[in-house]
A and B are shown apart, each in its own frame.
Chain A
């Protein structure tokens, strides 16, 4: 059984990492909609952080022996919030229209973990399949962080999210994974 505080901390950590991925992608594609999502997520984290604080204050009343653990938790939470706030600063650069220097996009493309886009064709093996069914990140190394569907976005898709023809996937991963990933999406590669 996972304790309430541990599961809230985990959500905090996962969200902070998703914010970093989204922030770099908003920078790469100079995309304010993705940047706005980073800001929205940071507001969610503020609420979550307050809940954790309340939970710890509550636990402190009944379990004074847990004080050291409470200190560790609060400090860890503070570090995670620091990571989230760095992501927010990157998104803020995009929202203010200061993220269009070509060097920024180039440095993201050059890095060990690169990012790319792929559009799902009608005859793609990914069309009408969920992420759980295809384990895309295991087979291609590319981890999908967001989907553009029509005018909308799906951020942080899960195992049950279904991919549809016409979707544009935004993914991060190694350079060597990009070609296969794009081929899977555009229908030229049929084996997954």
Chain B
């Protein structure tokens, strides 16, 4: 893995691990807590792999300056996973001793919710990637339970089937909408397939727009 890939992986993991940690407390799930500990171990490996690669690539003073920033970011991502692992260790206390947690998570800006996919839902038989659930509802799937058991941070290729249970993170509006689709009260709206050359043109345009705006938000003091 390159440093770029390692950092990407660490950032992804640092975000999903927090959601999983809170969800494990909410649903009193020891298997979810185990997954959090597993991710925390993986994060340690990634951190050391990053350090090793970064130190190897340092040749000049300027390299060292920039690379020290990378090392600090990698260590911050690892500290996030440590915090998540500490959170799941609270499972050793009985649920009635940690009532604030559910109360707290049910009022947060973005909430964690558990939703069952009904046999009537038009979502069934489709992959998460085909449905583009997050782009269509703002809800990110953090875990799925099907006949084979739990899958955490599922891949886009995973298919949703009737009676699967998903745990999502999202705003109230988004989760309410997803419940409608999942219950089969509302038909899923599939995006029309756009020809590849259009997608590429748009991506090119978006990238250019992104560069222009990045320049625009650079603070005055950032120029030196």
Contact = CB atoms under 8 A, between A and B. Distances in A.
A27 B99 contact: no
B103 interface: yes
B79 A85 contact: yes
Given A101-B67, A140-B138, A141-B138, 16 more contacts: A2-B107, A5-B100, A10-B105, A32-B219, A33-B219, A69-B97, A72-B90, A79-B87, A80-B83, A82-B82, A83-B80, A86-B80, A92-B72, A93-B72, A174-B132, A178-B206
24 contacts: A6-B107, A9-B100, A17-B109, A20-B15, A30-B218, A76-B90, A80-B83, A82-B83, A86-B77, A92-B72, A93-B72, A98-B65, A98-B68, A101-B66, A103-B4, A104-B7, A106-B4, A110-B4, A113-B12, A119-B209, A141-B136, A143-B110, A143-B138, A148-B216
Contacts of A2: 103, 107
Given A24-B11, A31-B218, A89 B76 contact: yes
Q: Is the interface of B mostly helix, strand, loop or mixed?
A: helix
A97 B108 CA distance: 33
B69 interface: yes
B203 interface: yes
Contacts of A139: 138
A88 B116 CA distance: 38
B202 interface: yes
Interface residues of A, number: 76
A101 to B, nearest CB: 4
B209 A186 contact: yes
B163 interface: no
B209 A29 contact: no
B158 interface: no
Interface of B: 3-5, 7-8, 11-12, 14-16, 18, 22, 65-70, 72-73, 75-77, 79-80, 82-84, 86-87, 89-90, 93, 97-101, 103-105, 107-110, 132, 134-138, 140, 170-171, 173-174, 177, 202-203, 206, 209-210, 213-214, 216-219, 221-222
Contacts of A85: 79
